[in-house]
Each structure stands twice: as C-alpha cells, then as structure tokens.
Amino acid sequence: MANETEVKSNFIHAIINRDLEEGKNNGLVHTRFPPEPNGYLHIGHAKAILLNFTIAKVYNGKFNLRFDDTNPVREEQEFVDSIIEDIRWLGADWEDRLYFSSDSFQVKYEFACRLIRAGRAYVCDLNPEQIREFRGTLTEPGRESPYRNRSTEINLRLFEQMRNGEFPNGSRVLRAKIDMASGNLNLRDPVLYRILHARHHRTGDSWCIYPMYDFDHPFTDAMEGITHSLCSIEYSDHRPLYDWVVDSALELFPEAVRCRSRQIEFARLNMTYTVMSKRKLRRLVEERHVQGWDDPRMPTIAGLRRRGVTPAAIADFQERAGIARSDSVIDLAMLEHCIRNDLENKAHRVMAVLDPLKVVLTNWPAGKTELLALENIPGADAGTRQVPFGREIFIEREDFMEAPPKQFFRLAPGREVRLKGAYVIRCEDAVKDAAGNITELHCTFDPQTKSGEDTSGRKIKGVIHWVSVEHAARITVRLYENLFARENPESEEDGDFTANINPDSLVTTGNVPAEPAIAAAAAGTRFQFLRKGYFYRDPADAKEGRMIFNRIVGLKDSWAKISQ
C-alpha cells in the first residue's frame, strides 16, 4: 500500500513557493477548510479538505477547520457534527484549531463600525428589489443608492439600531462603498450585513444582524492568520472584494488581524456517472432514489465510507487527479483504480458464490470433509485459513457453459478446471430439470492434483472459486453499480437528471453461500471475494447481527471483454 503518496506539483505550490521566496508571512503557511454547516460533505469537499491539509503538512504549516456559520436560517448543529466526523475520518487533523465564524461576531461588528467611520460603508434603506434594480446589469453600470452619502453619525446610529433589533428583516443593510460602475458586480457596493431575526445554532438570539460571506470570510481568514485561502473557481470574481476587506482590516483594525491573507482559486471536482451539487444530492435523498445521505451509491463522504471505500483510497485519488484551474470531469475508473489498489494488499481473500450451481463430486467419499489451507493474501505474509471441502460444493453458474467458445477456460462437459486451493475436477454430466435448466453438475476429482501437492503434472488454465455446501455460511450481498447510467447525468436528453438513474444500481442477493471463515468477520471488515470484488461488512446493518456485505468495487474482468 502506498501510505505516503507522493505529492504532485501544482500551480498552488508555485504560488506558495514564490511567496516564501519573497519572505511573505514570515515564512508561514496556514490553510483552512471553511464548510457551511448546511449539508453533508461529498468527495468534492474531500478534494478541498485534503488539498488544504496536505499543503499545510508539506510546508510545515497549520490547518484550521472553521465553520462558516453566518446564515442561521440554513445551518444546523446536525451538520456541524457530521462534517466533523467526515473530516476526522478522512484523516485531516486541525489539532486544537476548530473555529466558528460566529465566535467572532462581536469583533466583526467592531470592524464594520470602523469601516463606517472611515467612510467606506453605509447603511442603505433600499429594499431587496430596489437594490437589485440599482445594481444595473452585466452590461450596464449600476446607480448609486440615495443613502450612499449619509453622515458617519447617522450611519453609526442606524447600524447600531439594526444591531439592536429595531428594524424588520430586509428593511436595511450595511453596504461597502466601492464602485457602482464596476464591471465586476461584486464591487457594486456589496452588502456587508443584513438583518435576520433568526435563532442561530450557536449564538442563539444574541444577534439579529449577520455578516455576509464576502465581508466575513476575508476578515476571518486574516484574523486566523490564514496565509493562503483556497477556494473554488467561482470565487475568482470575489477576489478584488476579498482583497478590499483584508486591506481595510490591515489598515483600520491591525490589532485584530495577523496577515495579509491571499485567496487562490482552483477547479472543483467532477466525476463521471455522478452528480455533485448539494441541491441534486438532496433531491436524490428526498425523492427516495437512494436510502439516505450515507447510501453507498452517494458520492458523499458518508456514502463512500459506508460503501467501504478507505480514506487512503480517496487521498490517493485526489492526489492523482491533481489540482488545476480548468473545468474537468474525472473518470470514475480512476477512483475505482485507487480503491482496488489500496485494498489489493490489505483485504483478506475469501470465497463466496454469488449465483450458486451445485456440483457433486461423484468419486469423493460420502461424508468426508477435508480442511484445506488457503492464503489470506497471496504473496503477502498474512497467514492462512482453513477451508472445508466436501463431496458437494457450489460454484458460480457462469463458470459453466454447455457449449463454450475456445477461449472459455472454465467448466464445460468433458473439460477440467481447478478448484482454487483444492483439486482439479472434470465435468462428467450436467443434470437438467424438465424445463431444460441445469440443476447440478456431476464431476469427478483427481486425488493427484491436490493444491500444493500436485503430482499429475497437468497444466490447467482455469481456476474457479467454490464453497462447500455442507459448511457454507449464508450471507446477504449488496451489489452496487453507478447510480447513473449515463456518463454525464446532467445530460437532459431524457429530461431531468433523475431520468438517468441506473435502475440496476443496487441488486441485493440473499442466502449467498460463503466459506465459514467469514462468520467471524467483524463489522467494518473488508474482504476480497475471490474473482468477484471487494466487499465490506456494513457496520450499520451489522448492529442487527446481520451478515450483509456491500460490494465496494468489482475486480477487473478481462473475460467480460473477451466474451463480448
């Protein structure tokens, strides 16, 4: 396993290196992940989390976790809890630096007052519709608010009255005085504070005005000493405003800030066969297309975790995908590769027969059981386990063909195949029912061919997995596939994105025979079901004592390609 993934070079490293060379920030590098607690984290967030955390680590710097909780009407404690759990699971460590934007509302209020005194902010009485009208359009400049040039005294008094709850929601806002004619809409006197008579999940009812992201975020970054504030591309247009706020803070409130924070944008993550927007993910949950935020088909951190994906695989994926500014859609196959790559040398092998066909070894003594030792991980020093073998076994139905093509190396009438870790058997007869369906196979085994002690000198190409009928444990298996059938689910060729949902994204099969060793599997254990894929004993269902295994990802199947 590659536990120390090599960190690829990217444009952000180049920027930081330059800053370091120029002696900025006393050589410090400090990053942060700033989630709004209004939903679940997904793999796109994992990219941001790991990017920030890794950069801090590479440069011997620090990484903060800060909740951007400036909008009480959308945010909840439940999300704070799930986000903390997810980030911790991913392995990003913020040490003792867990912050909430709301913890410093008082200082921010003071900063706003200083902006007013400096003539850089004013209270505007325009209502939301009017503000929109005055803002102009993409191609036409805006008009200045009639309240733009109020005196400092009046502004200060009105702002205090806003804070004291004397005005209703939407009646007034605090705005920055910048440039109503700017080509960048963000600079057309952006709103800094709005009135929101709402209970905040942390500050309760102590505030009824709340800072806007564009005011709060840069200032909080500067307060925390965040040197490099990484965010996604859509914030590029906000950077001039970010700088405006930081520079103002440095000038008007130097004792409150620790550095000239700098915003750097990078492209967000997109993957084939999935959707990433919070809105769409919520719809999947609310419209019951999946069973919840942690459904293993969801790209949420909780979903990936429950699917059985490891944090190491996600980190490897993120590292391979890289960081850039261009829009991109990463092939799901890349994630799957990382998952297999990680589990290859970690997951113990075990045999389970997903679609059983009974085989009777007619020359095996009735009632005789032989214990065979099979390696837990081939080539690794991971020990062996005892696997019982007997007269009746199950094999996969697809491992037998009545009239096989020449390239089929498995069982067929008159053909031989090796049972993994056991003997070579030969198919003598296929027993059918009245309808012509094959109900069982009659085979003979060759005692000379015992695994590891083969004296027959025979070369057998095909090796298949099996489970003793008498000793089989019974498990339930959930076979997951892509949630969407289309590479780009957003495609509206069939209408809504939900029309692209893969109807076979989950197939549950019960009563699956598996070798008895699996009965000892603790919840949360990952296995490789030989020739079938990687599976995870779902901890949520294990609580009820059930043996349910989620397929994390299948094995590569070159036969599937040949047989087409």
Q: Which residues of 436-470 are buried (b: 16+ CB within 10 A; e: fewer)?
A: eeeebbebbbbeebbbeeeeeeeebeebbbbbbbe
End-to-end CA, the chain: 33
Query: At 46, phi and psi to the nearest 5?
Result: -60, -35
Contacts of 91-94 with C-beta under 8 Å, sequence gap 24+, read 91/53, 91/311, 91/315, 92/33, 92/49, 92/50, 92/52, 92/53, 92/63, 92/65, 93/53, 93/63, 94/33, 94/63, 94/64, 94/65
Q: How far is the CB of 318 from RNA (least distance, A)?
A: 10
Q: How far is the CB of 243 from RNA (least distance, A)?
A: 13
From 24, 57, 278, 320, the catalytic residue: 278
Nearer to RNA (CB atom), residue 298 or residue 464: 464
Q: How far is the CB of 344 from RNA (least distance, A)?
A: 5
How far apart CA 34 and CA 261 sit, in angstroms, is: 14
Contact of 293 with 285, CB cutoff 8 Å: yes
Q: How far is the CB of 118 from RNA (least distance, A)?
A: 22
Q: How far is the CB of 291 from RNA (least distance, A)?
A: 27
How far apart CA 314 and CA 321 sit, in angstroms, is: 10
Our measurement of the distance from residue 114's CA atom to the centroid of its chain's CA atoms, rounded to an integer in Å, reads 42
Query: Is 278 one of the catalytic residues?
Result: yes
Contact of 62 with 32, CB cutoff 8 Å: no
Nearer to RNA (CB atom), residue 135 or residue 258: 135
What are the tokens at 28?
């410090």
Nearer to RNA (CB atom), residue 84 or residue 377: 377
From 36, 85, 392, 490, the catalytic residue: 36
Strands 62-67 and 98-100: parallel
Residues in the chain: 564
Q: How far is the CB of 135 from RNA (least distance, A)?
A: 4
Nearer to RNA (CB atom), residue 18 or residue 474: 18
From 117, 260, 268, 346, the catalytic residue: 268
How far apart CA 17 and CA 27 sit, in angstroms, is: 10
Nearer to RNA (CB atom), residue 290 or residue 424: 424
How far apart CA 219 and CA 102 sit, in angstroms, is: 12
Nearer to RNA (CB atom), residue 264 or residue 523: 264
Q: How far is the CB of 333 from RNA (least distance, A)?
A: 4
Query: Is 279 one of the catalytic residues?
Result: no
How far apart CA 493 and CA 498 sit, in angstroms, is: 11
Our measurement of the distance from residue 299's CA atom to the centroid of its chain's CA atoms, rounded to an integer in Å, reads 5
Which CA distances in Å does 344 have to 91, 337, 527? 21, 10, 10
Strands 262-266 and 228-232: parallel
Nearer to RNA (CB atom), residue 264 or residue 499: 264
Q: How far is the CB of 433 from RNA (least distance, A)?
A: 26
Nearer to RNA (CB atom), residue 11 or residue 205: 11
Query: Is 268 one of the catalytic residues?
Result: yes
Q: How far is the CB of 275 from RNA (least distance, A)?
A: 14
Nearer to RNA (CB atom), residue 372 or residue 521: 372
Name the amino acid, one letter, at 455. T
Dump the DSSP string for 442-476.
EEEEEGGG-TT---S------EE--EETTT-EEEE
Point out the residues that are catalytic.
Answer: 36, 268, 278
